[in-house]
Structure 1
Amino acid sequence: MLTKENIDLFRSECKAIQIKKNDFFVKENEVCNHIGIVHSGTLYGYFEDADSNFIVSELYYEQSIITSYRSFITGVPSPAFLKAYSDTMIYAMDKNHYDELMKQQKWAYIFKKISDLLFINKCFKETALIKLKAKERYLQLIENRKQIEQKFPQHLIASYLKIRPETLSRIKSLDLYQDRK
């Protein structure tokens, strides 16, 4: 977890980027030249598979670290889209500035913390998809991200959980029914 001091220091080296609803932070096949922290608003990352199916890979809101990290680090085109679900403001740092700051020990420490967070989130999601049933994934998501259901519509949450919206509705209605007993 980044401390408030680390977040404030990171923001002090960034520029504010405004992204309107339905605009992109990065598009598929573009190199992602920024890493940022969401200040306000919501975004989601998604892929389109070979059959043009829409698959949500990540949901971002206040305090989320946002980037297409593989593209940002390597300079290869992003495999995903990062799109604003609502009007959004991000404190973002470009790759050149990141590389300059990385030469300083205190920044190397902060950037390692950021990369660790991104990696850990990826590992938790991958493990959940492999080991947990749909209901368990949903319960884990709402436990770890308490505001997620107020920030995103059910179809995006369902895609993120790799289930159909109808399945998510059924899971939620079963929970409501069981809570009444």
Structure 2
Amino acid sequence: MLTEENITLFKKVARKIELKKNEFFVRENELCDLIGIVESGTLYSYFEDADGNFIVSELYSANTIVTSYRSFSTGILSPAFIKVYSDTVIYVIDKTMYNQLLSEHYFLLLFKNIIEELFINKCFKETSLVKLQAKERYLKLIATRKTIEQDFPQHLIASYLKIRPETLSRLKSLDLHQG
């Protein structure tokens, strides 16, 4: 998790952008040359699989890092869309500024922390999809991201968890009756 100090340092050199609901931070097959920290609002990353199914790969809310990191890091086109779910304010740094700041010790450490957080989040998600049952994934998600159910609709959360919305409804219903 990024510290307040990390976020403050990032904001000092970043520029603020505001995006409205249904706008895109990046589109599939576009270059993503921005990395940002969400100040307020929500976004989600998604793509379509080979069968045309809509799959949510990430949910972004306040104090999370938003980017298509593979595109940002390598200069290849983004494999996914990042779309605004609710009006959003993001502090962003473009690739040119990022490269300039890498020569400064404090920013090198900050960017190291950002990269580690992105990587660790990806590893946790991949592991949970393989090792945990749907209910365990859901319980882990709501335990670690307290406002997730207020921030996003059920169909996006279900897609993120790789379950059907009806399954999520059933899990929530069981959880309420057992609690």
TM over 0.5: yes
State the one-letter code of the partner of 2:178: Q
How many angstroms apart in 2 are the aligned matches of 1:118 and 1:52?
27
Which residue is 1:94 aligned to? 94
Compute the displacement of 1:113 (Å).
Answer: 0.4
What does residue range 157-176 of structure 1 map to in structure 2 within 5 Å? Answer: 157-176=157-176
Alignment RMSD? 0.7
Give the SS at the match of 1:109. helix
Compute the displacement of 1:38 (Å).
Answer: 0.3
What does residue range 19-168 of structure 1 map to in structure 2 within 5 Å? Answer: 19-168=19-168
Give the SS at the match of 1:86. strand
Give the SS at the match of 1:141. helix
Compute the displacement of 1:148 (Å).
Answer: 0.2
How many angstroms apart in 2 are the aligned matches of 1:168 and 1:147?
16
Give the SS at the match of 1:174. helix
Q: TM-score, normalised by structure 1?
A: 0.97
User: Gapped runs of 5+ residues in structure 1?
Assistant: none
State the one-letter code of the partner of 2:53: N
State the one-letter code of the partner of 1:108: L
Give the SS at the match of 2:58. strand
Which residue is 2:7 aligned to? 7
How many angstroms apart in 1 are the aligned matches of 2:2 and 2:43?
20
| Sequence identity (%) | 67
How many angstroms apart in 2 are the aligned matches of 1:2 and 1:140?
20
State the one-letter code of the partner of 1:170: R
- Correspondence 1:178 to 2:178: yes
CA-to-partner distance for each residue in 1:53-109, whole Å, 9 max, x for gaps?
100000001001000001000000000100000111100000000000011121111
User: Gapped runs of 5+ residues in structure 2?
Assistant: none
Compute the displacement of 1:2 (Å).
Answer: 2.1
The 4+ residue runs of structure 1 with deviation greater than 6 A are: none
Give the SS at the match of 1:89. strand
Aligned residues: 179
Compute the displacement of 1:3 (Å).
Answer: 1.8
Compute the displacement of 1:49 (Å).
Answer: 1.0
